[in-house]
Each structure stands twice: as structure tokens, then as C-alpha cells.
Amino acid sequence: MGSYVLRRVLQMIPVFFGSTFLIFLMVYTLPGDPVAALFGDKAADPAVVANLKHKYYLDQPLWKQYLHYMGNLFQGDFGTSFTGRSVTDIMADAFPVTIRLALMAFAFELIVGLALGLVSGLRRGSVQDTLVLVLTLVVISIPVFVLAYIAQTIFATNLGWVTPTVQDSKDLSQLILPAIVLGSLSLAYVARLTRTSIGENLRADYMRTAVAKGLPRRTVITRHLLRNSLIPVVTFLGTDLGALMGGAIVTEGIFNVQGIGNVLYRAINQKEGPTVVGIVTVLVIVYLVASLIVDLLYAVLDPRIRYA
Amino acid sequence: MPAATRARWVLAAATSVALVASGCSSSGGGSSSSDSGKTFSYQSSEPQNPLQPANANETGGGRILQNLFKGLVDYDPSNAKIRMQVADSIETSDSQTFNVTLKTGWTFHDGTPVTSKNFVDAWNWGATTSNNQINSSWFSDIEGYQDVHPASGQPTATAMSGLTVVDDTHFTIKLHTKVSYFEYKLGYIAFSPLPTAFFSDPTGFGQKPVGNGAYQFVSWSHNQQVVTKAYPNYQGVDKPKNGGIVFKMYNTSEAAYADLQSNNLDVMDQVPPSALATYKSDLGDRAIDSPQGAIQNIGFTLYQPDWAGPDKAKVRQGLSMAIDRDTITKTVLQGSRKPASAWVAEGVEGYKAGQCGDNCTFDATKAKQLIAEGGGVPGNKLTITYNADGGHKEWVDAVCNSIRQSTGVDCVGDPKPDFKTARAAITGHQINGAFRTGWVQDYPLNANFMADVYRTGAASNDFGYSSPQFDQLATEADQAASVADTVTGYQKAETVLANDMPAIPLWYYRTNSGYSANVQNVKFDSFGNPAWTQVEVKG
């Protein structure tokens, strides 16, 4: 187990370097000059442009910029944005908001999605099953931004239960609606995955054995059926946590949540290299850690899987 | 992103143009009682630069700074004319040396008095290359600018020789050439005074500015909001009628509009394009539709042989006549623009309707004729380059359709992914034929729409346009004895543009906005900003 984790952590290193370099390359080779763009429609002042480029290390060849950036990164310095704020500060503001939003969405899809999948998987062909299938199909086929606008119109404009946008991004209760919208698509997948998986496992030999042993139905379902059916769901959920954090751009935009998605969107538009690379680097790490946890969970769920 | 992505922001003090009927019902001021201690919220975006006056050229930071600072002059809300603020008088006898007298009693929010030195030091600091200020070129008229801001290399001085402090309330400005309307420029945010505390820590100041304006800085929660409150010792002529402004950051105007409709946001910039058709019925008498000092043009690459010849001016005139401005502004642009008949926007001092003559009136027959006389469009195909992130696709397509249908010239749009890519292509002369361009006023004077755009070698002359006749008229106008003479001088120069057509004027921008039920007396100026201090919050 320990050596397996160590091996996985070591594997992360090349992935980390490779992905950050690719992101760095992409951001810095985008067309247009970010420093000249600071001047808007007006002609950029060459002397000031030269000075600013030097200040942001943009007058160096790309490989030098990358080495410089990585060098600073290992000293914990993510660089400085054009506003003069350090990228570390910007991330310290925005990540907690997005983490909360993503965790709430995650909890929502996990609890509701599993419950729906369980109900419909156990009662295939019933009214509840059909209902779940239709509902999830609707959610899957509607783009997130449409869902968000519908939710905004119904719950804020018509019913007046909430404000249309989030007034204080640090207030958990205001994040409920955006979190439900954000988690709804994954919820549909979780429900459908669980349903299929349970349907398959219901006919498995160990299920028949468990029932034949006379175990209470509750134990059969939770200890045997659910646990074995969770493997594909956990795979999905693991990668989804990263996706929720990086993919919140649309939801955060519509509900004006000042999280990582909004910051990233603005930084890409302004071609603010350090901010984009910094945020994406952290997201890459989140993905890597999440997939490691998923792999470790397999062993917990399925006794046949062993890590030596 | 808002429609005008990173629109160059232009300063403005509380200027407001008489409102059209739609917004007037509550503007009488007596319809409901107001509480001068209450704050109101305004849609904003996170400033792109630290909050330093000479570093703000975008709306996010600029509109916050214009409330925190007040310069020598600003522009009157009722008529967009210049008015004295910190200055008691600005006098000149030769349009080159200006004697400034300050009023007494003005203080910064930290209590220190505003003196001549605060202005002179601030301008010198803003102009110096090594301080990396985006707006430093604003000081380029002042004698000695080359010493603190040479074209290349490091500065040889830290102060401009043209600025001399006489005493606490007097200083002189000497320009290296005559600019009769220089005082108009002084309303720009870059000319704000800075307190002594600024110079010891400009970076820290940029996060926590101390100004001398109607509102003082309270806090800045990054990406969330900037809070200001009314400064009780404010000496300006426009005393705040409210307790302060909260600038709430929005990434999309859709989100801001949803908040405005539910009274969670009080005043916004510009309704989203998706709401243009409905906002007047959504908001009723709280909807705003007022003119802005900004114009949309189609420019030509006159530096290319294809467009250089003198007879090609006829082709450009013909293309201009082939555009049905009335129909496009009404349908595609949903009434958010007004057809242009001059190169200067409506409401600007010196605006004269019809300067474009027949060239800006739709006439398909005459258009065809003029294009034929001028030898036709090269390759019988016109390409219009534009930035695809600014909501321009729809009207570029409509303009192209109009040209195609009325003249048979093939016309296509050439979208660049975003603003900075389009700008790089335009300034790098990597485009062919025509491109979207425009001008947003820096100050409401017609000179600003011409001198900075059409003069030979002007910073924003992306056309490569060079007309000795225009240059001479502009220079004469600059050296006129009074601003009034400058205005008529530039009107004369504008007629040269009608002959040469370096750019086709399309339409003027308008402010399509609105406000919540919590506030009243909201009027917008020609900069597209509300008259901040005049907003009343209902009690």
C-alpha cells in the first residue's frame, strides 16, 4: 500500500511538469500583446510597454520565462498579476469560495444521485424508475447555462426565495442554488450509473448467497449490493470533483460567484499568464490527488483489489 | 465580458446630458423623500491596475478613481461644459502658458491641504517613464516631457521644466506648443492631485487610495466590491446627495441586470444586449436612454496602394452611401445607436450635425455611381476586420449586406478572436481594406475626435491618413486665441474629412441603462457615467 502510494506520487511529478509546461506554452503563445492591450484603443506608449514587459519578465525567450516561473514557484511564489496583487493572494480569495461551491455540489450529487439511482435500480420498470430516467434525461440534454437561467428566473425573479445573484460569495446559504445547478448534470450521471450498476449486481451470485443466508434486506442492500455497485460511480465522482472546480465558470458567471471560474475567465481574457498558470497548476494537482484517492478507494470497496 | 470589452475608459466627472422623456418622472426630485446618509450600489468590474490616477484607463478602476479624486476642472452635468473645481481660475494669454490659481479649503481625505505642489508632484510622477503609468502620454503637451519620458531609454530628469510652483495656491504650466483647449484635458483623471503620503509608497497607495474627491475610500474586497463614503469636507460644487457608493463587481451584465430588476443593485452601466428589446418595458420610467460621446466608424487602410489614390476617396464615399444606417440601428442594433452624420459625437462641444453631407445618407444609385467613378473597390471585394468578442458581428454582417445589395460589391467580415488580437492586427498593418474602429471621448470637445485620430502620425491614426490640408487647419485651430475659435477651426477641418473619407462614420453610442426602485434622480452624462453625487437614495 505505502509503496503503491509512493509510486503514484512519483508519477505525478512528470505529469505536473508536462501539464504546467503545456499550459504555460498555450497561454504565452496566444496572439495579441497583453501589455499593449492594457492601453485599450489608445496607442501603447513604447517606453512604458518596454518597462512593463521587463517587469513581468515578458521580454525573455519562452523557455527562460518558464524556468523563471518554475524557479519562483518552488519558492512558493506564483507571480504577480497586472493589478499588482500576488497570484497567491488572488487564489487565497477565490479558491475557498469555489471549494465550498464544488463540495456542496458534490454532496448534492452524491446523496441525491445515489438515492435516486438506488430507488430506480431496485425497482426497475416501476413508476419511480421511469420518472428518474425521464428527469435525468432532461437534465442531461439541457445545457448548464439554460438550467441556471431557469433556476434564476423561477426561484429569484418569480418566487423571490433567493436573490438572483450571490451577494456574498462567502455565505454558504446563498451558494445553495448555484451548487444545485452546478451539481445537477453530474447528479444525472451518478443516478444512471448507480441504477445500471445495481441492476447488474442484483443478479450476481454473491447476492443470491447473501439472500439465501437469510441476511436482513437492509444489510444485503447496503453491505453487499451498494458497496459493490459503487466502483464505477466512485470513478466518476473522483474525476468529477476536479471537473466541478474547473468547470464552474458558467455557473459562477451567471450567479456572479467570485470564485476561481470567474477569476480564470477574466485572467484568460486579459492574458494574465501568472494567474492562469497558477490556477490551472492548482487544478492539475487537485485532479491528480482526486484520482489517487479514487484508486485507493477501489481497494476499500472491492476486497479482490490489492495494492502491493 | 461586457459588450465593449476593455473599452478604453475615459474620465468623466459628473456630467449629464438632458434626459430623454423616458427617465424623467422621478427626476424632479420631489416625488419621494431621500436620505442623504444612505449609500447606493453600482455595477462595476475589478480594476485592472492599482488605483493610481495616472494608471487608470479602463472603466473598472477609472470610475472608482473619478469619485475618489477631483482635479482642477470637471464637466458640468447640465451642458457638458467645463467647470472649475479645485482651480479658482486657469488663465492664459498666449494659449501656451497657463496660470493656475487654486481655491483654498480643499483637503485630502487624510486632512492635509491640497496645494500646488500636490498637483505638480503628481503630474511629474505620472509622466516619468520609470513609474510605468498607462496614462503618462497625457502629460506630453507639457514642456520638458521628453526629459522625464524620452522616446526610448531612461529619463534624464524627474520633473518637467514646464511646471513651476509659485506658492501654495498658484502654479504655472508651460506647454511646448500652443494648445488653446488644454484646460479641457485637465478634467482627465490623470491630472488629479496626489497627497504627500502617496510618494513614499505608491504601490500600497494603489490598494488604499487617499484622494480629495466627493467620496473617500473605505475598503476594497478584491473581486467583490469597493466601498466608498461621502467625504464631509468636500469642497466641490457638486456636494453628494447620498452617503456613498458601493461598487459591486460583476463579470457579466446579465447577472447585474437580474440584480437590478430585483433591486439588489441600484444603478448599472449598460443593460445586456439580450435585454435591449425589453428593458424599457421591464423598468418603465426607471429605464434610461441617453446619448454618449462615442462614435463607431469603419476605417480604411490608406497606407496600402489599393486605397491610397486620390480617386479612391470617391469609392469610400460611395461605400458610405451604400450603408443603410437608419434601418441597421433600428433593427440589428435595436435602437441602441443613433445614425451618425459627422465625425464628432452628438452632445460634444463643437458637434455639428450633417458635416458628412450626403455621404452619410443612404442612396444606392449614387453609391454605385461614385464607386464606379473612383475605379471600383479593389478586387470588387471589401473585408471588414473586427473583434469577435465585442458584439460587433451582427452589425458588421448587416453593413456588409447593405453594401452588397446596394452596390454589388462583395463584402465580408473578418473576425479576430478578441480585442487585443484585432488591435495587434490593425496597428501592425496586417489587415486588408477596412476595419472596425471607433472613438470614445476623452473630454467633450470636438478637437478630441479629430486631432488625436486623423492628424498625420497621431497616436490613434491607424489609417495612415495624412492630409496637409487637415493638418494645417488642425494646427491653426490649436493655436486659436480661444476655445470657441478652436471649435470652429476644427469644424472647418472636419469638412476635409468629408472629402477624403479616411473613415466612414456609422453611428453614435447611447447609454441604455436603468436603476432600481431604491434610488431616484439618476441621470447619465456623455461619458456613460451617472451623475454620481446627484443620485438620491430613497429614505
What pLDDT is recorded for position B298?
96
Distance CA B361, CA B339 (A): 9
Answer whether A38 sits within 8 Å of B249, measured CB to CB.
no
Q: Give the gyration radius of chain B's Cα atoms.
A: 23
Higher per-residue confidence, B514 vs A15: B514
pLDDT-derived band at A57, boundaries 50, 70, 90: confident
- Find the mean pLDDT for residues A150-173: 85
Please name which of B302, B294, B348 lies closest in space to residue B528, comparing C-alpha atoms: B294
A262: chain B residues, CB-CB within 8 Å: 223, 251
Q: Which residue of A has its CA nearest to B51?
A: A83
Provide mean pLDDT across the span B207-227.
Answer: 93
Whole-angstrom Cα distance, residue A234 to residue B282?
A: 47
Average pLDDT over residues A249-264: 88
Judge: B264–A46 Cβ closer than 8 Å, yes or no. Answer: no
Task: Compare CB distances from A42 to B57, B252, B424 and report the shortest one's residue.
Answer: B57
pLDDT band at B11 (very low <50, low <70, confident <90, very high): very low
Does residue A261 register a pLDDT over 60? yes
Residue A266 grid cell: 477574466
Cβ neighbours around A107 below 10 Å, total:
12
- What does the radius of gyration of chain A's CA atoms come to, in whole angstroms? 24
Crossing angle (nearest 10°) for helices A2-28 and A273-301: 150
pLDDT band of residue B24 (cuts 50, 70, 90) is: very low
Contact A89 B137 (CB under 8 A): no
CB contact (8 A) between residue A41 and residue B48 = no
Contacts of A163 in chain B (CB under 8 A): 259, 262, 264
The alpha-carbon gap from B33 to the nearest alpha carbon of chain A, in Å, equals: 26
Given pLDDT bands bounded at 50, 70 and 90, which one contains residue B31? low
For B151, the closest chain A residue by CA position comes to A47
Confidence of residue B8 (pLDDT cuts 50, 70, 90): very low
Query: Cβ contacts (< 8 Å) between B417 and chain A: which residues?
Result: 31
Confidence of residue B423 (pLDDT cuts 50, 70, 90): confident
For B33-43, the pLDDT digits (tens) are: 788 889 999 99
Closest-CA distance, B204 to chain A, in angstroms, reads: 10
Count, residues in chain A:
308
**Residue B418: which of A32, A40, A94 has the nearest Cβ?**
A32
Structure confidence by residue, pLDDT tens digits, B154-195: 899 999 999 999 999 999 999 999 999 999 999 999 999 999
Q: What is the pLDDT averaged over residues A1-30? A: 84
pLDDT confidence bin for B152, thresholds 50/70/90: confident
CB B93 within 8 A of CB B82: no
pLDDT, position B5: 34
User: Which residues, including other chains, have CB under 8 Å from residue B259's CB and lie 6 or more apart?
Assistant: A163, A164, A165, A256, B248, B250, B265
Nearest to A167 among B129, B264, B427 (CB): B264
List CB contacts (< 8 A) between B264 and chain A.
Answer: 163-165, 167
**CB-based contact (8 Å) between A154 and chain B?**
no
The predicted structure's pLDDT at residue B41: 96
pLDDT score, position A308: 57
Decide: B524 and B23 in contact? Cβ < 8 Å.
Answer: no
For an interface test with B, give the residue of A29, A30, A41 to mutate (most B CBs within 10 A): A41
pLDDT at A301 exceeding the cut of 80: no
Mutate to test the interface with A, among B1, B59, B130, B222 (most CBs of A within 10 A): B222
Q: Which residue of A has its CA nearest to B50?
A: A83
In percent, the amount of chain B with pLDDT more than 90 equals: 72
Between chains, do B423 and A32 touch, taking CB under 8 Å as contact? yes
Closest to B255 (Cβ–Cβ): which among A50, A160, A165? A165
Q: Where are the alpha helices (DSSP H) in B392-503?
A: 393-407, 419-427, 446-454, 468-478, 483-500
Sort B38 into a burial class: Cβ within 10 Å, 0-12 / 13-18 / 19+: middle
Give the β-pairing of B381-387 and B225-230: unpaired
Rounded Cα distance, B448 and A125, in Å: 74
What band does B256 get if pLDDT is binned at 50, 70 and 90? very high
Cell numbers 425497482 label which residue?
A: A123
Inter-chain residue contact B46 with A38, CB threshold 8 Å: no
Is the Cβ pair A47, B222 closer than 8 Å? no
Cα–Cα dist B228/B216, whole Å = 5
Q: Classify the C-alpha dihedral B370-B376-B380-B385 as positive or negative.
A: negative
Segment B58-70, tens digit of pLDDT: 888 899 999 999 9
Cα(B46)–Cα(B52) distance, integer angstroms:
14
Task: Dig out the grid coordinates for B83 from the structure.
Answer: 467647470
ipTM of the complex: 0.82
Contacts with B46 from chain A: Cβ below 8 Å: 83, 266
Whose grid coordinates read 480629495?
B212
Distance of CA B197 to the CA centre of its chain: 30
Asked if the Cβ–Cβ distance from B222 to A48 is below 8 Å, we say no
- Count the Cβ atoms, other than its own, within 10 Å of residue B343: 27
Residue whose cell numbers read 448467497 = A209
Phi, psi of B501 (to 5 degrees): 50, 55
Q: Do the bridges between strand B97-102 and strand B170-174 make them parallel or antiparallel, or are there none, so unpaired?
A: antiparallel
Distance from C-alpha of B16 to C-alpha of B270, rounded to nearest angstrom: 15
* Per-residue pLDDT tens over the stretch A212-228: 988 888 888 888 888 88
Report the pLDDT value the prediction gives residue B102, as an integer from 0 to 100: 96
